[in-house]
Structure 1
Amino acid sequence: MKRFLSVFLIFTLVFVAVATGFNIICRRLSEKRVTSCNVAVNRINSEITAAYDGKAESCEEFISKHMQGWEKTYGKDAPDSISFIAADEKSGVFRSAAGKNSAVCAVYDSKGDVCGFVEYTYNERVFPEILWLVNGLMVLCYLLMIAVLSYVSFAILKPFRKFSEYPEKLARLRDIQKLPESRSRYFGRYIWGMNMLSDVLAAGGKRINTLEGEHQKLVTSIAHGVKTPLANIKLYTDAVRTGLYSDKGMTEDIADKIDFNAEKIEAMAEELMAASNSSLGGYDIEIERFPVNELADLIREEFSDRMALKRIPFNVECTTQAIMESDKYALFRAVSQLLENAVKYGDGSGIYVNIMRQDDGFSISVKDRGVLLPENEIPYVFRSYWRGSNAADVEGSGIGLYVVHETVKALGGSVHARIIDETSEMEFVIYIEN
């Protein structure tokens, strides 16, 4: 809105400047034209006065004889018609209806008495009417441009500013709220395309999670498979060293080789396990400063409509305006995973998010009611591929909470789970030191 008002103000100032300049120029040209005509009239009248001999006929003949010459001399400043009117000898009164396009000048005889008048007439000038017409058109164009600017601002630029944030959110968050469908001829196809891209990325994300899970299972299976022969090799090594083989020199050499290969296999197994665990993050961490209420607004914006469609009461409360130094989008991904789990395992009676400022950091709490985990299973909820006893009939891979744990750990924080017996709620709390 501020940008529109700035553009409106600048456009108005430019219009006023142009209109004022145009009218000043036109007025000066008109005044210059009047001055030129007056000069021509005065000079012609001086010639007529000098040639007048007291007879009206001789004055009319003089005017008729020199009319073409005056037109050549003064050009467009010459009168279109000149007529002589003798003065009334009895009263000395001269009556004439002179308009703004005519001029009347007295003619004096040799004694200095008024003996007649010469009327100089110019054809009707349309310059003032043209000036009014041009000014009217300029005002009309101004109003039309304001209408166009208003339409462009509110029908195109305003929604575009809202839509322009969507690709960044989609790139950072992937599974986010779709854009509302619209029949707008400007953005209808864009919205349809972005929603299609969102579906493709969401499907791709699920596929990647599935493949990632299969990958980790494979790596884990290989690692555990390698550990079994490792145990046998170490037992065989111990047997050789205890003297089960008679040739001591040979047995010690064999034992050293077996031990060397066993260590290599063990190192490979550890490397495979580390690579498997590190592959689940999937996102780079970008630390920056941001108001905490922006995170609350992002959560509220992305999940309010989803919860409303599922008829789940949903509330996001933020009791601080403090500045946080962390990765806003990484925190959102962690909270969104907790919210997805709350929807999946909760009973639909309500999900509540509370963001608070603590003494030396920030806490983000996600609470819901549903089928609660047994107390003895709480310590295992953040392990990869671990699923609780309440998840037997619910689709899932057991990766979500592990990713939350690893994400929060990468941010220098911690995440905890607990059961609130008084309210029969499951609560997950993310704590970030700041």
Structure 2
Amino acid sequence: MKKRFDRLIAVIALCLATVAIILNVMVNKAPETFQPLYKVEISRIEHELSDGREVSAADYDNIISITADDGSGSLYDSQNEYVIRSINGRLYRIEYKDAHSDRNKGLAVIINISALLLFLIIMGILLYIRHSVIKPFSHVSDMPARLAKGVLAEPLKDNKNNYFRKFTWGLDMLREKLESSHARELERAKQEKLLLLSLSHDIKTPLSAIKLYSKALEKGLYTDREKQRQTAGSISEKADEIEGYVAEIISGLKTDVMTFEINNTEFYMSQVMDKIKIYYSDKLRELKTQFDIESYNNCMLSGDPDRLEEVIQNIIENAIKYGDGKNISVSFSDEEDCRLITVSNSGCTLDDSELPHIFESFWRGSNTDNRKGSGLGLYICRQLMTGMKGDIFAEISGGMMKVTAVCRKC
């Protein structure tokens, strides 16, 4: 990117130089295009002298003097520019000044100075952009690709540039978060592996006992019915022991699969709803889905505004994915010290019996119809609302799916 900008600077400098050269050529060519005024005045003087009239240099702006030859030989002695004309058999020296040429020279100087100043200003601006914008940005432009490749250990250098300080800080925060998440995933994988290895080893003992008792019964080694009953009891006991180990495995795997950083503070609800309105009004208009946000009384809420926005976005995305695409609306109500934000969508086909499970991790309802998804959207919503000391619940009414986020007021 920096090299391309350097080429752009070179092209602009070349263009400015070309324009300056063209203007100078045009100014220098001007006398050849237009007849100078002194020549017009000399022509008038010739006609007047030919007609026998007296002529004075004071009557002409560009004539210095008019001198007739007196035979002294000084006709050609003059420091000024002049022409010699023979009029009615007598020689005259007509001295003149070329004001047009002087003006052209002055104009050329003005043009060149102006072009130089313009060149310096433009080049100064371009060099400032190169130093303050292009160069700092080139240092961080490859960071997203590196993060995608998993290069997380190397921190970003502190960028003192005002334009990209916040951007660099945000990227470094993202890097740290990804690095922390990666470390947690590795630790979790390690713990799960240790758990499985430990429990699989523990299961071997009762499993071997069951196999031993089973073979003894199969071969008829226990002929006494009491002994057979005791053996069957031992098998049942070992089976219960294995079942306990399996339950422990399931319990370990069912622990929360995600952790969330929530920064609770006080904020106005409109901070969140304005962003939701701007984003989804355009998106749902393109999808030809009617989208309505009920008018509301603004109030101060307690929680994380970014996380609340994420919750409402997740709910609306579910409404888009699993509704019939006809109508999505957001309504509000108050209960005690809480503000309830309800997202409703038409075309709900979820069975009432499945409603209690929709906030479980990795659970997907019968209405998914092979649509892509992880089963984590509403689970994440519940975790976030719990972290903000709020709640979330859902209900089905008249073919409408209604998911409500309960937010605490300040």
Q: Structure 1 length as normaliser, TM-score?
A: 0.41
TM normalised by structure 2 equals: 0.43
